Amino acid sequence: MAGPAAVWGIDLGRCALKAIRLRPGADGQVDVLAFEYIEHSTMLSQAEGNRHALIMEALEKFLSRNDISKDKIVVAVPGQHTLSRFSKLPPVDAKKIPDIVRYEADQQIPFDLDEVIWDFQTFQEEDSPDIEVGIFAMKRELIHEYLIPFEQAGIEPVAVQSTPLALYNAMRFEQRLDEHASILLDLGAENTDLIVATKHGLWTRTIPLGGNKFTDALVKGFKLSFPKAENLKRTAASSKYARQVFQAMRPVFSELVQELSRSLGFYRSTHREADLKRIVGMGDAFALPGLQKYLQQNLQMPVERPTTFKMANLSEARNASELNDQLPSFLVSYGLALQGLDQTKSMAIEGLVKSNLLPPEVVRQVIWRKKKPFFVASAACLALAAGIVWFRYNADMGALQANAGQSPGMVNVARAEQILKNGIPGSPPKREQASLWLAVAQSFSNETSKYSREGIVEKETAEELIELQRNKSVWPRILQSIHAALPRPQDALCNAKDCMEYMSATSDSKDGPLSREKRRQIFIESLFSQYSDDVSEFDLLDEVEGVPRDTVEDPDTSDKKGFLVTIRCRTPHADQLRFVSDTFKASLRTECRKVGAGFYVDRVVLTKGGLYSTKSGSSSGSGKSGRSPGRGGGRGGRGGGRKSTPPPTTSKPGMIDPVTDESMDEDWVFELQFDVLLHDYPAPEKETES
């Protein structure tokens, strides 16, 4: 008699493949049968075009060590690629919850539901009428892209779960959650999953900062290659340069604390009753020396790392001590395997998040392959019966053809028109007449279909030409509005007609000498645009320190067609960031938001800032350019926009102003990004009502 089914949980991370095999144990526990930690020879984020080969290498090594033919498989997808939304439901009958949740999903998921795979989970405290629902979604194309290596390796998962939810399942089963809220922090290579969890629910957010950010700081600080900097980071505690290493990483420590404080502040503002008691750190990057102590001091909460399993029996696993040493790195795969066990008949686990993002078409494919052997015998019998019927049918039709004459076959349009006009010549048998009329009808149907297809192509071409002309006419107005938003320089500079008058104005104006740092000037050095049918796909990151975030309420509109515009500018003004923010950035929101203009600016973000003397591709200040979403943005090239990544700036110290011969080393260079929506800005009264 076969024993209880076993389940593999596979977490394919940026640094390594982590997998664990579980089966139901005694007293509600689970038995750990095996585990694998297969580190990539190069981090996937650093592999560039070799990423797929590294993934396949790890999967092949995993399969060479383990027979998974009789086991279930559950795999994880990164938290940053999934969407999580939580909302309260009114007290309703349980049968109506799926319909209400579908309505909520349609409202809260910013994509057409046909474009995503989504599922939901309800959370409810004991003796409480309140029901909270978590809606979890991921773009369909991203899931298929992530599952391609598993498909090529012959691995068929029964479930797909996001890493934050798998982590929650692990901590819930391990009885590490109580009535008080715990902060689960999974620090990965590129991103950090933040989960605020209790026994009755969770809230999650992904922070775009991980272990690679610390390595990058060492690359810049010590001029090392990435692999050498990664090794230095891992051995920092025992290095004789430990003090210099931690000093180089201090800005990243500070940035991580700021992001965590901001996220936790938002959670507290929406959950007034929350009682945050502790932080539980997990993930490969959390082993960074000094990180646990730094977070504890700056967040004023105890920070701990799990070191042993409470609900797992390790007696059957080889090298169990190694698993305990690396336990924080295996909790995601542990949670995945638990979800797979919950689907078996031999075990039911209370309180797990059971949502599944596996595409339905993949589920059907897996079910069909498993049932295929059972259909072979039935198919053979059906084929034999069908063969007998087919032979009898052909024999009967042959006899009819012999009596009724041959079929007329295909009829061209000219002959079909002649038959339709004059009728069938002669007096052929009734069956032949019927066949001929069917051929005439088929001929006209084929001709109609041909012209219909040609009409569709011509219509699409015409619509494309109309759209090109429409966008072509709007670009001069966009450029005019951008220039109108620039701050007006002092009158003496505005009135200068040539270089000599300009130089004279800088040294002798009615307000006295206009030194370079007093000039209210902003110069546009370059402008790039990228078209998309949905500009909300672009992730604009406002990361320049000290810039006030936009507080303008954007109009609620479903039409997001437009351009992402990136402009790089320079200003000699001494106030730099504040001058740009109070003048140009603020003015863009007013000059480019006028009713009837045919376009308007939505988000405006200051993404880079630094002195000319330190600018060489990346700014000396904090910040980075806005990034496109996972699928790479929208279509490019229409209406004046072109899909193009702006080239890095190559200015060097010692730049001279070509007009005044002054040094531009202290000029401030910055980058603004904003999206331009290609439809009229809503009237004020409509915006107020919304």
Closest CA to 189 of 339, 39, 84, 304: 39
Give CA separation, 676 vs 142, 376, 538, 600, 611, in Å.
Answer: 27, 59, 12, 6, 28
Give CA separation, 150 vs 6, 74, 414, 432, in Å.
Answer: 19, 11, 56, 57
Exposed e or buried b per residue across 88-112, where buried means at least 16 C-beta atoms within 10 angstroms of its C-beta: ebeeeeeeeeeeebeebbeeebeee
Closest CA to 428 of 411, 406, 410, 397: 406
Contact in structure between 567 and 671 (CB atoms under 8 Å): yes
Please state at what angle helix 291-299 crosses helix 242-270, rounded to 10 degrees.
40
Closest CA to 627 of 642, 605, 601: 605
Provide the 3-class DSSP secondary structure of residue 523: strand
Rounded distance between C-alpha atoms, residue 135 and residue 151, angstroms:
27
User: What are the two backbone dihedrals, phi and then psi, of residue 67, each rounded to the nearest 5 degrees?
Assistant: -95, 110
Strands (DSSP E) contained in 191-250 are 192-198, 201-207
261 sits in which H/E element: helix 242-270
Within 8 A by CB and 6+ apart from 199, the residues are 172, 177, 178, 179, 351
Domain residue extents for the chain: 177-287, 413-463, 522-689
The mean pLDDT values, 10 residues at a time, for the chain of 690 residues are: 78 91 90 92 77 90 92 92 84 82 85 87 78 88 90 91 93 87 90 89 89 89 86 81 85 91 88 85 82 88 89 88 86 92 79 88 65 58 70 62 51 80 79 81 82 75 68 81 90 84 76 82 90 81 52 59 90 89 88 85 85 53 38 38 40 70 87 88 55
Rounded distance between C-alpha atoms, residue 274 and residue 281, angstroms:
20
Please say whether the dihedral angle defined by the alpha carbons of residues 185, 186, 187 and 193, taken in this order, is positive or negative.
Answer: negative
Q: Considering the entire predicted model, what is its pTM?
A: 0.55
What is the structure's pLDDT at 404? 45
CA 424, 429, 435, 436: dihedral to nearest 10 degrees? -20
212 sits in which H/E element: helix 211-222
Give, as one character, the DSSP assignment of residue 286.
G
The residue whose two tokens read 């011969």 is: 661
Whats the size of the chain, residue-wise?
Answer: 690
CATH of domain 177-287: 3.30.420.40
Rounded distance between C-alpha atoms, residue 473 and residue 468, angstroms:
9
What is the structure's pLDDT at 623? 39
CA atoms within a 13 Å half-sphere pointing along the CA-CB vector of 381: 4
Contact in structure between 366 and 359 (CB atoms under 8 Å): no
How many angstroms from the chain centroid is the CA of residue 654? 41
Within 8 A by CB and 6+ apart from 135, the residues are 83, 84, 85, 86, 87, 101, 104, 105, 108, 109, 118, 119, 120
Rounded distance between C-alpha atoms, residue 89 and residue 114, angstroms:
24
What is the structure's pLDDT at 2? 53
For the chain, the C-alpha Rg in angstroms (whole number) is 33
Give, as one character, the DSSP assignment of residue 229.
H
